[in-house]
Chains A and B, each alone.
Chain A
């Protein structure tokens, strides 16, 4: 009997939570210089997550200075007027805080995580670098080495990284999404001081920024701090509009990378629209049905049934401009990547030809809802997600209506977007083909152990 009672309790909770997703009370203000501030109070832990979003990324770059947004992100930690080189990190860590930042094609985002006791200090640190960043040639030279090392680790020493770069460079012919966020190595080596200063002036106007603060604070105190520390920073023109629109692709494009490796990789990508497009929700559900979890169509077919690859994943992210929906698989040893491609295309044809099942659609909605809760379970996740919705959808409220929007999508909608985007003419394929190790150079070979069995 008690068991039944408990079950019924859970059923009630279930109805309550599926009716609409949980919302969080967000307060906002816009400073006189145009900087928008979002605050969400949460006193669960005595900590604060502070995210500053700048609407500038690699799409605002040009050939010759690719990667400068990301490099600039690094420079934001290397000294300003009040807090000199190294002081930003040293001061923040000594007060119990930590930080990081990330750059993508559209935005540059600065993240601070700290105990509330460091609140005033963090605002002081942020204001100093936004207003008075310094450009020391010696530090620029050293940071160039850091970024080159980052590129070697994320691209050169990572076969998927190399291939992904080629995929984008091939799929885009006109639009700036064609170059890598980290930048081409030759550009990393050649930026000038003027390029950096120009980038700062272009991207870092307060009117180009959104500040999101979540945690053990009150909205009033954050608004007051923002007014004191940020409002006096003068605004200026935002980055020039990116007017280039990638022309419609008129036939499949293929690119190969041949290098030393033990296993091949294959990536397939289709042009899809930007986040603000009405197709966003249908595409996200389709991505979930195709690629999320071991019950997904691609995993079932490619990894489980046909056993063609050791793994398959993909999807698309938020973007200002038309994006790529990509599918990446690592074929098993001895499997021709073309066989993997063929199976992927058959699965895509199937979602074009026949509607997904009711069960699949409901599953996708459930996964999207659970993902939403996971993002909301930390102050950091909430700050990042609120900011991303504000920036990419123009309004953070869209975060809380997203679940309802997913519920409105029909099976016919899914079939329609599949037909619209997953066509052969809209496709770019990148394949990494393993090569044997480079021939022995005349450089001395390390002494082999006596027992080396592989010696020839």
Chain B
């Protein structure tokens, strides 16, 4: 039992800040922030390699981004990118899935692969002494996967049952329902991991096609961080990867999502609920939005830390919930802005009203000089531990590269934060925080709360938690098949 759930992430997942700082200057001068020196190399086959040293412990971390994610799944085959990533380790030209696991675990290594909306991520970590073996495993799954049919069938069954397990737990699925409802018709509305219908429609050929289209050297960024010397690691990684023949990957264009105008509400009935989970929001900002730093500061105050306006009203002052917060998911094109919390069935309306009141207040009152200063200190005080490890550093520099940003994004950050004024805050609140146009998604016990929540929108859509898929109408498609 903890006092509150893990620190609310201020920026995107894995997107945190790196810096070097003269420790002795910390007490007096304003802190400065600079990424440690890192090297960028373009391999002959088009692969981008990034290298940064970190010598605290004898570990080396790899973070690869393949520039295609769930957005690139074929229509009706949602989950393909994610299944492809999961199957990489399940068989190569020279190893069975079993052998891969044996060899990986034998050296105490870690390997993870998964797909988000914009891209696919592979991350791995090895002890320094095992770097050759580790690199061998990593290159093998990237360059020589065979996607055996029996492993595909096994994973698909696990995924289908995994969906049932997830839907047994509201917190595990509310975000997927929210995205589906908010981004209805846009690629960001599709379930990354697939749903009951799309998984059934996906074949091994779809996986193979996805791999052949998008897993190419020119489509990959590989960041390496840890206990090594840069020239040696550059040589080693180059040798291993330059045998990968160059191929062209199709360009990916994600349309700009349109914010929802008006109000709409989706209620998902989960009859055993003792607590209602809800998310409220609209379309937010892209990762490269020019106002992102200001919004990160403002959202720290609004819903990004323990004493935020939302958590103060919904937890600290009223005890309605264990935690309330808000965030802007920053992606290639604007992702969602959302307020998220939960409360016991009987206080559902009280909690939603309170959340809306806090939203209204931030529009009316903005933030004070004192609050602004507190948020600036908080962000600068909390960043350093977010880029402490090799894995964190590798993740950050790969992320910057993917979004076409560079080290100035980090090196100029503290100056930008410190120059921000109350007027800047008021402007971005007005511009980016929704007020009258809101999308509501609620999971709870419909027989208790269904009537009460109708007041928030002119139209109430409903689903049962056992209905296939995550979108209104998805079940209809399933039934007609």
**Interface of A toward B, CB cutoff 8 Å:** 2-3, 6-7, 9-10, 13-14, 17-18, 22, 43-47, 49, 70, 73-74, 77, 86, 89-90, 93-104, 113-118, 141-150, 152-154, 156-159, 181-182, 216, 259-263, 292-296, 300, 303-304, 307, 310, 330, 332-333, 359, 362-363, 366-371, 373-374, 376-380, 437-438, 440-441, 443-449, 451-454
Contact = CB atoms under 8 A, between A and B. Distances in A.
Nearest to B110: A370
B381 A115 contact: yes
A46 B306 contact: no
Interface stretch (B42-50, B113-121, B125-133): B125-133
Contact of A13 (B31, B129, B169, B380): B129
Question: Can you list the 3 inter-chain pairs with the closest CB atoms, starting with the nearest?
Answer: A96-B381, A145-B319, A370-B108
A296 B105 contact: yes
A215 B311 CA distance: 29
Nearest to A5: B232
Contact of B129 (A17, A113, A158): A17
Given A17-B127, A86-B316, A94-B373, A295 B102 contact: yes
Contacts of A22: 57-58
B451 A444 contact: yes
B221 to A, nearest CB: 23
B162 to A, nearest CB: 5
Contacts of A159: 168-169
B267 interface: yes
B275 A153 contact: yes
B234 to A, nearest CB: 11
A367 B108 contact: yes
B381 A100 contact: no
Given A378-B388, A449-B462, A310 B161 contact: yes
A115 B158 contact: no
A373 B59 contact: yes
A117 B27 contact: yes
B461 A6 contact: no
A157 B171 contact: yes
Interface in B436-469: 446-448, 450-451, 454, 460-462, 464, 466-467
A333 B2 contact: no
Nearest to A15: B129
Given A90-B307, A448-B462, 18 more contacts: A6-B232, A13-B58, A98-B378, A99-B306, A100-B2, A102-B3, A118-B381, A149-B322, A182-B1, A292-B105, A304-B98, A310-B161, A437-B272, A444-B450, A445-B447, A453-B475, A454-B466, A454-B467
Interface in B304-338: 305-307, 312, 315-322
A14 B216 CA distance: 33
16 contacts: A9-B232, A14-B128, A45-B19, A77-B3, A90-B307, A103-B1, A142-B317, A144-B319, A145-B319, A149-B319, A159-B168, A260-B271, A370-B107, A377-B388, A378-B388, A446-B446
A261 B466 CA distance: 10
B23 interface: yes
B122 to A, nearest CB: 16
B1 A46 contact: no
A86 to B, nearest CB: 6
A444 B98 CA distance: 53
Interface string B240-283: 00000000000000000000000000010101111101000000
B68 to A, nearest CB: 25
B3 A46 contact: no
B108 A371 contact: yes
B181 to A, nearest CB: 13
Contacts of B322: 146-147, 149-150, 153
B7 interface: yes
Contacts of B433: none
B57 A376 contact: yes
Given A2-B235, A310-B161, A263 B168 contact: yes
A45 B381 CA distance: 11
B462 A447 contact: yes
Contacts of A2: 235
B239 interface: yes
B290 interface: no
A446 B460 contact: yes
B317 to A, nearest CB: 7
B172 to A, nearest CB: 9
A374 B59 contact: yes
B165 A304 contact: no
B324 to A, nearest CB: 10
B476 to A, nearest CB: 5
Given A103-B1, A453-B476, A6 B462 contact: no
B268 to A, nearest CB: 10
B84 interface: no
A263 B169 CA distance: 11
B320 A149 contact: yes
Interface string B155-185: 0011011101101111100000000000000
B83 interface: no
Contacts of A444: 447, 450-451
Given A98-B382, A441-B447, A451-B473, A310 B466 contact: no
A6 B231 CA distance: 10
Contacts of B306: 89, 93, 98-99
A454 B464 CA distance: 9
A114 B378 CA distance: 9
Contact of B170 (A157, A262, A300, A303): A157
A44 B447 contact: no
Contacts of B378: 93-94, 96, 98
A123 to B, nearest CB: 15
Interface in B1-31: 1-4, 7, 19, 21, 23, 26-27, 31
Contact of B168 (A6, A156, A261): A261
B384 A310 contact: no
Nearest to A58: B1
B382 to A, nearest CB: 6
* B239, B267, B378, B389 pick with most chain A CB within 10 angstroms: B378
B342 A378 contact: no
Contacts of B373: 94
Contacts of B157: 307, 332
A243 to B, nearest CB: 25
Contacts of B165: 262-263, 310, 330
A362 B106 contact: yes
Contacts of A147: 322
B390 interface: yes
Contacts of A378: 385, 388-389
Given A216-B23, A437-B272, A443-B447, A100 B388 contact: no
Contacts of B388: 44-45, 377-379
A444 to B, nearest CB: 6
